[in-house]
Structure 1
Amino acid sequence: MEKVAIYCRLSEEDRNKKQETDDSNSIQNQKAMLLEYSIQQGWEVYNIYSDDNYTGSDRNRPEFKRLLDDAEAHKFDIVLCKSQSRFTRELELVEKYINGLFPIWGIRFISLVDNADTANKGNKKSRQINGLVNEWYLEDMSENIRAVLTNRRKNGFHIGAFALYGYQKDPEQKGHLIIDEEAAAIVREVFTLFSQGYGKTAIARMLNERGVPNPTEYKRQHGLRYQQPKRRNSTLWKYFAISDMLTNEIYIGNMVQGKYGSVSYKTKQNKPRPKDNWYRVEGTHEAIIDRDLWDLVQSIIAARAKPFDVGTVGLFARKVRCANCGYTMRSSKNRGKHYLQCSNRHVAKDACIGAFIAVDKLEKIVIQELNNLSQRYLDQDELERSVEFKQNLEQQKEACLKAKAKLQKQLEDNSNYLLALYKDKVKGLVSEKDYFTMANDFSKERERTEYQIKEADRHLEELEAQMLAGDQRKEIIQRYTHVEHLTREMVEILIDYITVGKRVPGTQDVPIEIHWNF
């Protein structure tokens, strides 16, 4: 008996769960339909993979990823879904898995509603069209949602999933914030202490010594929605938590949103947006901090701001993290020499064992690694072995050019057929009614072909851009080979982030891990 893997996913349009632990009716219906079909076909059900509350564009669906791992290991013979869109709404994944890897792995893909079946060679185009339609659906839905959210931001409505510490979402008015007095008292204390001359780390230490839970832990204890922390020691107050609080205008009643924007509708990754592009609306809710105290705090922050010193203090600013706790290391100065140290070891006892390194030492390590990397990467033999992506892009480009040539031939044949049809009409071999019917069909086919040619041109442009990016990556490394000193601009271009560990006892070795931008 052939083994079948059933995959189900919750439809975004069908959320009707009674309890969080229940499968939605949509999932239950999918399972029943697919199980019944499997029994009718005489297949053995290997497993049911079910992702509830996940979109079709989410590549990190846990059951989806498990399904792909099991498919590669060939633990079953068939993947069965209700529709192709339940498996994925991305054309790229349709091509990669359904039309690409599944046949290589010996896996047959079937979706019932849209009749997709990789065993039927004749419906590959329909699968690709389904993928394209689903891709358009994702893009249109993303644009519509973005337009609605932008409009609400411009009108001062709070649209975030989590209320800022010190506030709660108003249960009576959607998009409005109300003060959470217990947390607001801590916010007022932080602003007051800073105005009296206490530093940000000192304030964090004072709150930790008193056992005051940080914003995330406070929300967890009170049953409020909060963002899951990515790092350890999440119950402690940190320097940056105090720093961000002291400059957040929401505490004086202004709604400020849109500080980050998504890179693409295909990913959850966000990037900072310029301050001029933020959405700022004044007086949208009750203030926790009065204007006089706010102005005083901002003036103190401005007075304490250090000038940016390229190559020393600011060289690795916000680029270096402690390998132990994951927090950003801060700069310090002693006897004219600059250092980076883990800010977490000062906020509470045993918070972190602490990482520490001299800036000039780290600079030398980065330069050495960059030179080593350039020697490996720029070696032609190594380049040909390692840069497999470029070969893949060349193959994709060649295939796209062949497909475009075929479409252009179809377009030319279409014009010839239409001309021949017209001649037959003139000779009286084809009636006028039949001529217009067939001419209309040819015109529709011509429009479809022209559209496919435009899509092929767009895909070729994307491939060219990706190939160019690969060449630029090589040029970037060449440009910064054999440098003697780094600049802040170079650090921004070359480095995503660096982790620094605790010095190895009895040696001068400090564990360093550099994450490059290329």
Structure 2
Amino acid sequence: MSKIALYIRLSVEDQIDRDESESITNQRSLLNNYLDKNAEFKGFQREEFVDDGYSGTNDKRPSFQRMIDEVKNGIVKTIIVKDLSRFMRDYIMLGDYLENIFPFMGVRFIAINDGYDSAKEKGNGTDLDIQFKGLLYDFYSKDISQKVKTVADELKKQGKFLAWSPPLGYMKDPNDKHKIIIDKETAWIVRKVYDLALEGMSLGKIAMLMNKENIPTPNKRKTELTNMDYKYNIISTEAREEPTWTFGTVAHILSNENYTGTYVYNMQERSVLNSGSIKNIPKEKWGRVENHHEAIISKEDFDKVQQIKEKNRFLKGKNTDYPWRNKSPLQGFVRCPTCNHILTLTQSKHVRKDGSFLYFKYFRCRICKCNNVEHKGSKVELLEEQVLSLIKEKYEEVDTNKNDAVNLKELEKRITKLQDKKMAYFEKYKLGKMTKAKFVESKSNIDEEIEKLEEKIKVSLTTQEVVKGNELTREMMEKYIDSVICENSIVQKIIWR
């Protein structure tokens, strides 16, 4: 017997608003009471799918995805929710589920408070009232997201520390989660970094020294304080099992004004609706609360370090302002054979006899350098020549005999006919002239045939193409190569796509 899925969701916005009617407990009670009162659901197995703290503006929710997987496997045939907004706040995506996906999968969908039951709808669509409600929820979610940001900004202005974890050297006050206090176990690390910088030591050398002395990294301490797993963004190498200090780690600490006792916030703008959308805010627009917490670094020492950094900074403008800084097509593809980390493009400057400068670009491993592991840099020009030669060697060996070339136009015509045929089957299914099982079988066979034809086209295009020109391009790299392992200006291995 198929299951009835009880989908329950409580978002971050609901938790902030503290609306008791939206709580997990109340949603669970409402759904079970509805099922208990309707005899048609008697004896059906029930399973809860709960997403606590997830937004309804997309489907990137663990329990939601697990429920959809069971729908695909034919385990769940009925879904019941408190209202449409619990299931989805995106108007377009909600409509797709109600009008296309669920009718096709034979799933009954019930939204209690909205009075919606797909089994009682005419056809496979939704009435006008439900469509307007979906649109309303979509607008509502965007309005709520702005309200959440406004409330958070007001709390920050009052000095409430809202970040998940404070910077290295601080910890949350056990008695007040909105206050930070000095972490005696790590504050000395911050002072050491600033002392080394004031002595004139470069960022790279500071990182090397911290690794040599096995000093804990910020992420390691953050893991201890929050019990969260940060392994996904902790860099380590075969030569060093402990997390690694890098140039960037040191630079971040030396740029953090929070160490002066000033609470600095809103340095970036993060979208509530799209967690991946981040925009940097100009420094002059950052929020600040003076004398907010105990300082680890004096304001004078912080300003001195900023002056030293500015004085030692070779670049005074954007990377694109310098002709020698033009990016190599190899950037992001070349990796270190020791630690497999992506190599960094650097430069060296030589003075000509006439006083002008000559620049050479190199790929170097900053991770090995920070760990005092020997790595010999590679000249960019030499690597580009080798990679271009290897690409030509591999793809010019392909037999491009025109007599064996596949007629691409004929293949494309066959694909178009198959797609038309699939659409015709779908129309028959919708009109009740074809069973669901027969449609699924026919569709699967057509999709398999289309996939084979598309693969033939791909192979044909590859065999007919001869890499031309004497310059390596980004397009070539993205098309043919996954990564290049190299050191000392020698390509050791190419991993092809």
Q: TM-score, normalised by structure 2?
A: 0.65
TM alignment of 1:31-110, pairs within 5 A: 32-33=32-33, 36=36, 40-42=40-42, 44-45=44-45, 47-110=47-110
| Of 367, 384, 388, the match for 1:344 | 367
Check if 1:332 corresponds to 2:346: yes
> Identity across aligned pairs (percent)?
26
Q: CA separation of 1:53/1:154 partners in 2, compared to 1, >3 Å: closer, same or farther?
A: closer
**1:81·1:110 contact (CA, 8 Å) conserved in 2?**
yes
Alignment gaps of 5+ in structure 1: 17-22, 373-379, 389-481, 514-518
Q: Deviation of residue 357 (structure 1)?
A: 5.6
Distance 1:297 1:28, change over 3 A: same
- TM-superposed CA distance for 1:129, in Å, is 2.3
Query: Is residue 274 of structure 2 the alignment partner of residue 274 of structure 1?
Result: no
Q: Quick check: 1:233 aligned with 2:256?
A: no
Aligned residues: 394
Gaps of 5+ in 2: 17-22, 237-242, 351-358, 396-407, 417-468
141, 159, 172: which one aligns with 2:162: 159
Distance in 2 between residues matched to 1:153 and 1:315, nearest whole Å: 40
Corresponding position of 1:502: 485
Q: Distance in 2 between matches of 1:158 and 1:302?
A: 29
Task: Indicate if the aligned counterparts of 2:145 and 2:273 stay in contact, CA closer than 8 A.
Answer: yes
- How many Å apart are 1:363 and its aligned residue? 7.0
Displacement after TM superposition at 1:71 (Å) = 2.4
Residue 315 (structure 1) aligned with residue 327 (structure 2):
yes
How far is 1:332 from its partner? 3.0
Alignment partners' CA distance in 2, 1:328 and 1:339:
13
Q: Which moved more, 1:324-333 or 1:74-83?
A: 324-333
One-letter identity of the residue aligned with 1:244: H
Displacement of 1:246 after TM fit?
0.8
CA contact (8 A) 1:321 1:327 kept: no
Tell me how far 1:305 sits from its aligned partner: 0.8
SS at match of 1:146: helix
Separation of aligned partners in 2, 1:208 and 1:93: 49
Aligned amino acid, residue 142 of structure 1: S
Assess if the C-alpha contact under 8 Å between 2:13 and 2:148 holds in 1: no
Q: How does 1:409-448 map to 2 (within 5 A)?
A: none
Mapped to 1, the partners of 2:53 and 2:272 lie a distance apart of 20
CA 1:286–1:79: 2 relative to 1, 3 Å: same
Letter matched to residue 57 of structure 1: T
Matching residue within 283, 296, 299 for 2:304: 296
CA gap 1:156/1:232 in 2 versus in 1, 3 angstroms = closer
Residues 231-288 of structure 1: CA distance to partner in whole angstroms, max 9, x if unpaired? 3436322221101111111112222222221246244432323334322344332221
RMSD, matched Cα: 4.5
Residue of structure 2 in register with 1:247 after alignment = 255
SS at match of 1:337: strand
Q: Distance in 1 between matches of 2:256 and 2:138?
A: 38
Local SS of the residue matching 1:503 = strand
Letter of the 1:117 partner, please give it.
Answer: D
What secondary structure, in the 3-state scheme, does the structure 2 residue paired with 1:165 have?
A: coil
Cα gap change, 1:75/1:226 in structure 2, threshold over 3 Å: closer, same or farther?
A: closer
Deviation of 1:188 after TM superposition, in Å, equals: 0.3
User: SS state of the match for residue 300, structure 2?
Assistant: helix
TM-score, normalising length from structure 1?
A: 0.63
Q: How does 1:196-215 map to 2 (within 5 A)?
A: 196-215=199-218
Write the letter of the residue equivalent to 2:115.
N
Q: 1:50 to 1:224 in 2, by over 3 A?
A: closer
Cα 1:190/1:318, change in 2 over 3 Å: farther
